[in-house]
Structure 1
Amino acid sequence: MQTKNNLFQKYYPFWNNLSESEKEQFKTYSGTKTFKKGENINRTDECAGFVLIKSGQIRIYIVSEEGREVTLYRLSEGNICIFTAQCVLDSISFDVIVEAEQDTELMILSPGRFHAVSEKNIFVKCFGYELATKRLSDAMWTLQQVLFMRADKRLALLLCEEMRKSRCDEIKLTHEQIAKYMGSAREVVSRLLKYFSDEEIVKLSRGTVKIIDREKLMEIAG
């Protein structure tokens, strides 16, 4: 079992640039919390804290006025979610919902403590802004896909990415989940998957999409 010190040393690149007092503050004001699959980690009006994922996976998404969800990105073990602590980053406001996609264990640092240390330590402050910039870039790429990219290409890109992450040709996702990740309607996803199936690119079964022609899929993904 990893101690707090080991976790921070492994995942916080600024750790060796902290004073002993600052390290103690991080340890003292951090705590482990677990969330069940489907549970909200924060809402748009909350500031949960600076989150390190110990195990599991989270989804960061926005919801349109019509109730459509658009998944901006997902994070798994060892990643840090900065937008659960957006209240500590001056001039950055990006309202999102963060949800546990699996049973998830998080190490959460109090937002006030992160802010206090970052105000005095340039390495922590720079890390926070660099991470926020990266996540905003990920979010903008997703929104660009939703707004300007053909749905079949977005689906192909998603399936290629899931295949890469799982290192497996069988992707365990429902049509509803894929629709949420794409920011599309379930009916559109089902129609596209049927087309991919008819073209013998994928084979469909309940809760599973099996890739049977990688070359064709990658060609559509571009």
Structure 2
Amino acid sequence: MSETTKEHRDCLAKGFPFWNDLTPDEQDMLCRYTRPVHYAKGARVHSPLESCVGILLLRSGQLRAYLLSEDGRDVTLYRLFGGEVCILSASCVMDSVNIDLYIDAEEDTEAYCISAGVFRRLMQQNVHVRCYAYQMTAERFSDSMWTMQQVLFMSADRRLAIFLTDELAKTGGDEVRMTHDQMAKYMGSAREVVSRMLKYFAQEGWVRLFRGGVQVLDRKKLQQLARGE
């Protein structure tokens, strides 16, 4: 077994919980039809106009999934990071899924791409793969519904508090290193609204603003606001 093939197998075994439920032949097939891919920052990964990309297992970087209106406005539905799986980049394998989804690389991204046709075949012959695919699809739609609930029904200050606390949970620190434009894009809001809310948070002593980011000074207060208290 070559070093590259072994690396593929190790990553697939770690990335997919159904790996040990595959037969040796199914494991070999999955490896044979997996290839490394690279997406530069800003690259389009998937759109309704393009053919089915395949299942993506992210090794590093970040992807953003969003909806795009006819007048060019977009709403971020969710983001994916290293170690996570992008299944809706291969929505063609799910007969019941029909959504005009766009996926872009927010950072330089390295991933493994599994052939959509092979993944569909595995779904048909292995119940563990099929259950995994439906579970992941349900989780992504749950993320999307949560985002739409925030956009439609929550106040701007609560949405910002939720966003900041979520970002801190991902990094484990007390800083969110993003511009106001980036925050607004991920929140599905306007930059002016985000800037106004951040200024208010700073005046209250909850955050400190600096060029290119925000430092959270009162995490407890933001958590209370995020919970609607």
Q: Output the TM-score relative to the length of structure 1.
A: 0.96
Aligned to 1:161: 166
1:41 offset after TM fit, Å? 1.0
Deviation by residue 1:36-57 (Cα, 9 ceiling, x = unmatched): 1111111122211011001111
Asked if 1:44 corresponds to 2:48, the answer is yes
Deviation at 1:99, TM superposition (A): 1.3
1:196 paired to 2:198: no
Alignment of 1:30-179 (within 5 A): 30-46=34-50, 47-179=52-184
Name the aligned partner's letter for residue 46 of structure 2. N
**Aligned equivalents of 1:68, 1:185: Cα separation in 2:** 10
Shift of 1:64: 2.3
Task: State the percentage of identical aligned residues.
Answer: 46
Equivalents in 1 of 2:70, 2:207: separation in Å?
33
TM-superposition CA deviations, 1:56-89 (whole Å, max 9, x none): 1111111123322211111111110110000011
Code of the residue aligned with 1:17 in structure 2: it is D
Residues in 2 aligned to 1:94 and 1:80: alpha-carbon distance in whole angstroms = 18
Find the counterpart in structure 1 of residue 16 from structure 2: 12
Instruction: Compute the RMSD of aligned alpha carbons.
Output: 1.3
Unaligned runs of 5+ in 1: none
Counterpart of 2:172, as a letter, is R
State the alpha-carbon separation in 1 of the partners of residues 223 and 14 from structure 2.
35
Map Cα deviations across residues 116-141 of structure 1 (whole Å, 9 max, x no partner).
12111111111111110111111111
Describe how 1:200-215 pairs up with structure 2 within 5 A.
200-215=205-220
Q: Which moved more, 1:37-46 or 1:109-118?
A: 37-46
For 1:136 and 1:154, the matched residues in 2 are separated by 19
Moved more, 65-74 or 138-147: 65-74
TM-score where L is the length of structure 2:
0.93
In structure 2, stretches of 5+ residues that fail to align are: none
Superposed structure 1 runs of 4+ greater than 3 Å apart:
none
Mapped contact 1:170–1:208 kept (Cα < 8 A): yes
Between the two proteins, the alignment pairs up a number of residues equal to 222
1:117-175 alpha-carbon deviations (Å, 9 max, x no partner)? 21111111111111101111111111111111111100000001111111111110110
Note if contact 1:82-1:132 (Cα within 8 Å) is conserved in structure 2. Answer: yes
1:14-45 per-residue CA deviation (whole Å, 9 max, x = no partner) reads 11111222111111111001111111111122
Letter in structure 1 aligned against 2:180: H
Matched residues in 1 for 2:196 and 2:70: separation?
A: 25
1:3 to 7, 29, 46: 7
The residue identity in structure 2 corresponding to 1:167 is G
Contact preservation (8 Å) 1:83, 1:94: no
